[in-house]
């Protein structure tokens, strides 16, 4: 577990901190995620994706749960993540992080805002539509298009 912590704790903690903007709360999520992995090691199926990617998604979801003060909306064993880049090595993660930031920087502002509000603030499309004053359908389309753009960038 110490090895896994050393390799992936920065992903887990960074995502939680970005969502919660509170170091103590982010540390709670970090501990929660690793304790769940320790308590239920079978929840991650290594044949179906990268552990780093899986931990990043679990961490983001748990942080949103904590932010919205709700019970976890999904069980970790139900979360399956399929991703092309391997996020095991620091170098891979740095390369992916740089490329994602670059892509986000080139996205239309409204699309990037919709994606970040949904991803890092856990707002529903209804809440984003109310906040931005734009139609629900437009918000849904922007969120989807934003994530699809990330995927395409790594398939090229």
**Residue 148: how many other CB atoms lie within 10 Å:** 10
What b/e string do you get for 35-63 counting C-beta neighbours within 10 Å, with b at 16 or more?
ebbeeeeeebeeeebbbbbbbbbbbbbbb
Interface residues for another protein in 54-73 (CB under 8 A)? Answer: 54, 56-57, 59-61, 64-66, 71-73
Q: Which is nearer to another protein, 78 or 133 (CB)?
A: 78
Q: How far apart are CA 64 and CA 68, in angstroms?
A: 6
CB of 9 to another protein, least distance (A): 5
Interface residues for another protein in 32-51 (CB under 8 A)? Answer: 32, 34-36, 38-41, 48-50
Q: Which is nearer to another protein, 35 or 133 (CB)?
A: 35
CB of 55 to another protein, least distance (A): 9
Start-to-end CA distance of the chain, whole Å, equals 35
Interaction mask 4-23, another protein, x per CB under 8 A? -xx--xxx-xxx-xx----x
Q: Which is nearer to another protein, 108 or 148 (CB)?
A: 148
Q: How far apart are CA 57 and CA 74, in angstroms?
A: 11
CB of 109 to another protein, least distance (A): 16
Q: How far apart are CA 19 and CA 66, in angstroms?
A: 9
Q: How far apart are CA 87 and CA 51, in angstroms?
A: 8
Interface residues for another protein in 81-120 (CB under 8 A)? Answer: 81-85, 87, 93-94, 96-97, 100-101, 104, 115, 118-120
Contact with another protein (CB under 8 A): which of 20, 114, 123, 129? 123
Residue 85 to residues 5, 67, 92, 99, 111, Cα–Cα distance (Å): 20, 29, 8, 12, 24
CB of 133 to another protein, least distance (A): 19
């Amino acid at each position: 577990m110490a090895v896994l912590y050393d390799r992936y704790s920065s992903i887990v903690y960074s995502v939680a901190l970005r969502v919660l903007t509170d170091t103590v709360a982010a540390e709670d999520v970090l501990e929660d995620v690793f304790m769940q992995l320790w308590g239920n090691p079978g929840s991650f199926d290594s044949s179906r994706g990268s552990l780093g990617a899986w931990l990043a998604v679990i961490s983001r979801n748990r942080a949103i749960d904590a932010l919205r003060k709700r019970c976890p909306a999904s069980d970790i064993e139900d979360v399956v993540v399929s991703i092309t880049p391997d996020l095991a090595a620091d170098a891979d993660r740095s390369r992916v992080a740089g490329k994602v930031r670059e892509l986000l920087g080139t996205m239309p502002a409204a699309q990037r805002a919709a994606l970040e509000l949904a991803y890092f603030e856990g707002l529903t499309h209804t809440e984003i539509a109310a906040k931005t004053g734009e139609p629900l359908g437009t918000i849904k389309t922007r969120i989807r298009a934003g994530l699809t753009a990330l995927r395409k960038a790594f398939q090229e």
